[in-house]
Amino acid sequence: MKGPDMTLAVCNGNFSTLRAKRLADMLKVPLLDVEWHRYPDGESGVRVPGTVPETVVVLADLDHPDPQLLPLLFLLDTLRELGARRLVLVLPYLPYLRQDARFRSGEAITSRTFAQLLSPFCDHLVTLDPHLHRYHALSEIYTVTDTVLTTADAIGVWIAANVEHALLVGPDSESRQWVSRAAEAAHAPFVVLEKTRHGDRDVDIALPDDIRLDERTPVLVDDIISSGHTMAQTVRALRKNGARAPLCIGVHGLFAGDALALLENSGAASIVTSNTIEHASNAIDVFPLLASALAEILPTS
Ligand code: R5P
């Protein structure tokens, strides 16, 4: 990693300052001060009081993208106006990817519009485990260059260290990419189930007839825990078939509404997430992954 470099700084989009500071420290660069303001009518204001370096790494949370996006765009635009020549946007969780088709007539393909909105404001995007299903690469909708990292290996290593005789379970076909790679890293078998979604909070999970639970502990692995229904229904389906209490691992723990309680009450033994989104369930640290990827991308002093 590089020594202190005044041409480079980490800037806290809307992250917890502690987390942004941690990344800045890992990269051995300063943390740029940002002052946020909320006007009485609800509009946002932002000020960058210090000198803006040539390259700025902006770390931002977009787990509540609708209220968070506009302030982030204000910040990025201001950094550019104040002299930043290269803006590297780090979004550990990249939202608005699941609506990647017009599933019902007349529906907005929000993933495309969101990508069009964000792309002009940065030069490079760094993210972890984006929900790429019908899109095979972010470049299909984003016009910036990107670095896509995965937590799958770290999840596999965590499972190997914490669970004996694990059987990794992907709740639906979309989870295959994560569960298969995590299983390889965990040296454990995996199975992918079949999900039918009837609504936001209404999913059915079907187990294959030949599923062999034996004496194994099921470990559910999925990219996103949103309403929690996918995981909860999978836990219930497994328990109904005589499985031990499963562990649930999600890369991005959004935990919308009562998702956590729903999952805890479904019969799950425990719930673990990566810290792409800050939550009490965080156990898999993505910061070393982010720091080493950034060290490759950023200019050397
Ligand atoms: C979709 O396919 C994703 O991979 C997740 O399975 C989904 O977003 C989980 O959503 P929920 O927690 O609302 O069931």
Measured from the CB, is residue 80 less than 6 Å from ligand 1?
no
Ligand 1, residue 259: give the atom nearest the CA.
12
Supply the pLDDT for residue 301. Answer: 56
The residue contributing the CA closest to ligand 1 atom 14 is 230
Ligand 1, residue 133: give the atom nearest the CA.
2
Supply the pLDDT for residue 13. Answer: 78
Amino acid at 139: S
Ligand 1, residue 131: give the atom nearest the CA.
4
Where the chain has pLDDT below 50, the residues are 1-5
Q: Distance, CA 72 to ligand 1 centroid (Å)?
A: 25
Q: Distance, CA 225 to ligand 1 centroid (Å)?
A: 6
Q: Distance, CA 76 to ligand 1 centroid (Å)?
A: 30
Measured from the CB, is residue 252 less than 6 Å from ligand 1?
no
Supply the pLDDT for residue 2. Answer: 45
Ligand 1, residue 226: give the atom nearest the CA.
12
Q: Distance, CA 77 to ligand 1 centroid (Å)?
A: 33
Measured from the CB, is residue 230 less than 6 Å from ligand 1?
yes
Ligand 1, residue 227: give the atom nearest the CA.
13
Test site for ligand 1: of 197, 225, 255, 273, most ligand atoms within 8 A of the Cβ = 225
Q: Distance, CA 45 to ligand 1 centroid (Å)?
A: 34
Question: For residue range 251-292, what is the model confidence (pLDDT) as tens digits?
Answer: 999 999 999 999 999 999 999 999 999 999 999 999 999 999
Supply the pLDDT for residue 5. Answer: 47
